[in-house]
Amino acid sequence: MCGIVGYAGSNNALPFLIQGLKRLEYRGYDSAGIALAGKSLQIHKCKGRVSDLEAHLLSKEAEGSVGIAHTRWATHGEPNDSNAHPHRSMNGQFALVHNGIIENYALLKSELVKEGYAFQSETDTEVLVNLIEFYYGKGEEVSPEMAIRLALSSVVGAFGIAVLCNDVPEELIVARRGSPLVIGIGEGEYFVASDATPLIGHTKNVIYLNDNDLAIISKNSLVLKTAEDKPASFQISRVNRTLGEIEKGDFEHFMLKEIFEQPITIEDTFRGRVSANRESIVLGGLLDVFPQIVKAKRIILIGCGTSWHAALVGEYLIETYARIPVEVEYASEFRYRNPILSSDDVVIAISQSGETSDTLVALRMAKEKGATILGVCNVVGSSIARETDAGVYTHAGVEIGVASTKAFTAQVTVLTLFAIKLAFAKGELDVELYHEIIAELAAIPGKISTILEGHLKIKEIAAKYKDATNALYLGRGVLFPVALEGALKLKEISYLHAEGYAAGEMKHGPIALVDDNLPVVVVAPKDHYYEKIVSNIQEVKARKGNLIAVVTEGDLILKEMVHDIFEIPESHPAVTPLLAIVPLQLFAYYLAVMRGCDVDQPRNLAKSVTVE
Ligand code: G6P
């Protein structure tokens, strides 16, 4: 939520700041702004996208070699020009951009009002910038850095901030608690961003700022400190991403590009994890903790949104094959319900960004209660990846479309590898089945390519349903989470109301919705639920619902029975989720495009939810 960039060097900061904001726009896109240091602090900001800010800047003089910028996802105060960041302190001494939430802002604000402070916006951020200025005014011995430290010690909540001070225009100060910040090291210049994507093409050397640390940056100097004013520990990491990964190429949208990348991303997830002879699975990141996992009495998978759906797939697979009890929880519920946990439990966080606030806090809580905590993350170096005892990266590459697609299939691939490896280690899976499922997984990229080749057919089908107002998605077993994920994709990007349901639950409510206006998407490949789901299809048909079914290639029975079909190649049931979701992603994509929606940046959403 919200993206921050910053620059301190010898060049004009503006081009980097604007380009950086564009690359972080997936984090929020309701307003944007920049501040540049110079003779005085210049701030330019407006409601809308980064492109609106660019247009706004055309008539302005904006130059400076130290600057900060922000793209916003509104929490406090509606998206408008005055609530946009950067915020300036009342006497103009500081400018600040913020990602996170200051929970005690109302109390701090009332105290500042008593001190004579007046506010221009409804934001919690303006309270923080004024609080810094307030402390700065306490005496000559208080440096900007000290004032920031003092202000942050009064703050309850999460933040990643970047601050400029009028008195020290060559300096940029950043700090974090909860929200991520990365510092890029250039030659005679430093870059700051909420994640590493704005740094691609500028530097490969980065420092992930630790929680509670501050960095004082100028063109030739970088000083890292803890909240207690001690030197902070840090590590320089390499980021080997390429520009191609963050560009759309020939695709109209990032989401479409990412759907089409899945044969490659699944290969990448697979690479190095399966031996050349396809006879064993190696999850290097879990090597040290694997004996503990094998002994676990219970595995708890936590996540949010699409990652929660991947966790549900994981639950079916781990319980079916490894016979270890699994619970799946929304991280936002888990963190507050005081769950019973012990050192026999393994808690695995599933998160594309590795920064989702609820997931991160839930993990910390599980760690405090003695559980082993693991992560399945996509973003290397993310907070969850760094705070867990061990984990597995999904290696899906940068995902920019707000609606997650390739990250989901990468998560499901990792969870499938994990379930099968665990099952084999526990002696629950015989060697033939172990090898068969590995071979089936290895065949998935090719089978997804076959589905993608049929995208124009899916587009034609989407055209028929573009004026629908509701949709129901049904699935059974491990394909129930696929129905949930299919419905979520449609809801997120087309704004159509879509519900996913376990097909067996249909009679307990949703069937009341079925009439000749309702598209009902049923995930119904040939597996051991097939006959049951065919009965559900009959029930919908009897009530004149518009049936669309995901079926195994060559299924003539369902072809006759339903209005439209999405065919997927035959596969082992353990890997079918990886195939069944693909037509549903394409269906949602084409339908949303036909409805004129902004599929890459759907309204109200953000990709990385760093506030609870
Ligand atoms: C947001 C995104 C979803 C994502 C969820 C969890 O809601 O819009 O696409 O699934 O957060 O994010 P994570 O990064 O933890 O997977």
Distance 305 CA to ligand 1 centre (A): 5
- pLDDT at residue 585 in the model: 98
For ligand 1, is residue 411 a contact (CB within 6 Å)? Answer: no
- pLDDT at residue 178 in the model: 86
- pLDDT at residue 242 in the model: 86
For ligand 1, is residue 379 a contact (CB within 6 Å)? Answer: no
Residue 114: CB partners within 8 Å, gap ≥ 6? none
Q: Report the nearest atom of ligand 1 relative to the CA of 306.
A: 10
For ligand 1, is residue 27 a contact (CB within 6 Å)? Answer: no
How far is the C-alpha of 407 from the C-alpha of 599, rounded, in Å? Answer: 16
How far is the C-alpha of 131 from the C-alpha of 108, rounded, in Å? Answer: 8
For ligand 1, is residue 359 a contact (CB within 6 Å)? Answer: yes
How many Å is the maximal CA-CA distance in the chain? 83
- 196 closest CA partner among 144, 237, 231, 145: 237
For ligand 1, is residue 488 a contact (CB within 6 Å)? Answer: no
- 415 SS3 class: helix
Q: ∠ CA(35), CA(39), CA(40), 5° rounding?
A: 45
Residue of 609, 610, 611, 612 best suited for mutating to test ligand 1, as the one with most atoms within 8 Å of CB: 609
- If you take atom 5 of ligand 1, which residue's CA is the nearest one? 305
Where would I find the H helices in 221-261?
254-260
- 499 closest CA partner among 478, 479, 516, 485: 485
Q: Report the nearest atom of ligand 1 relative to the CA of 356.
A: 15
Q: Report the nearest atom of ligand 1 relative to the CA of 605.
A: 8
For ligand 1, is residue 498 a contact (CB within 6 Å)? Answer: no
pTM of the model as a whole: 0.89
For ligand 1, is residue 86 a contact (CB within 6 Å)? Answer: no
For ligand 1, is residue 101 a contact (CB within 6 Å)? Answer: no
Residue of 27, 259, 306 best suited for mutating to test ligand 1, as the one with most atoms within 8 Å of CB: 306
Rounded to the nearest 10 degrees, how much is the dihedral formed by the CA atoms of 546, 551, 554, 559? -10
Residue type, 162: A
- pLDDT at residue 37 in the model: 96
Beta 372-377 vs 390-393: how paired, if at all? Answer: parallel
Cis peptide before 602 (omega within 30 of 0): no
Distance 364 CA to ligand 1 centre (A): 19
Residue of 308, 356, 387, 600 best suited for mutating to test ligand 1, as the one with most atoms within 8 Å of CB: 356
Residue of 25, 29, 307 best suited for mutating to test ligand 1, as the one with most atoms within 8 Å of CB: 307
Distance 585 CA to ligand 1 centre (A): 16
- 552 SS3 class: strand
Distance 223 CA to ligand 1 centre (A): 33
Distance 482 CA to ligand 1 centre (A): 16
Distance 407 CA to ligand 1 centre (A): 10
Place of tokens 């999405």: 566
Q: Report the nearest atom of ligand 1 relative to the CA of 384.
A: 15
Distance 207 CA to ligand 1 centre (A): 24
- 188 closest CA partner among 173, 203, 166: 203
Q: Would you state the structure tokens that stand for residue 357, as one six-digit string?
A: 């606030």
For ligand 1, is residue 125 a contact (CB within 6 Å)? Answer: no
Where would I find the H helices in 214-336?
254-260, 262-270, 290-295, 305-317, 331-334
Residue 416: CB partners within 8 Å, gap ≥ 6? 313, 317, 437, 441, 574, 575, 578
Residue of 304, 361, 488 best suited for mutating to test ligand 1, as the one with most atoms within 8 Å of CB: 304
For ligand 1, is residue 356 a contact (CB within 6 Å)? Answer: yes
Q: Report the nearest atom of ligand 1 relative to the CA of 379.
A: 14
For ligand 1, is residue 372 a contact (CB within 6 Å)? Answer: no
Beta strands, E only, 138-268: 157-165, 172-177, 182-185, 190-193, 205-208, 214-218, 221-225, 237-238
- If you take atom 7 of ligand 1, which residue's CA is the nearest one? 305
Distance 489 CA to ligand 1 centre (A): 12
Distance 57 CA to ligand 1 centre (A): 32
For ligand 1, is residue 306 a contact (CB within 6 Å)? Answer: yes
For ligand 1, is residue 353 a contact (CB within 6 Å)? Answer: yes
Q: Which residues are catalytic?
A: 2, 607
For ligand 1, is residue 253 a contact (CB within 6 Å)? Answer: no
Q: ∠ CA(432), CA(433), CA(435), 5° rounding?
A: 65
Q: Report the nearest atom of ligand 1 relative to the CA of 353.
A: 14
Task: Give every residue of the chain whose pLDDT is below 50, as ranges.
Answer: none
For ligand 1, is residue 404 a contact (CB within 6 Å)? Answer: yes
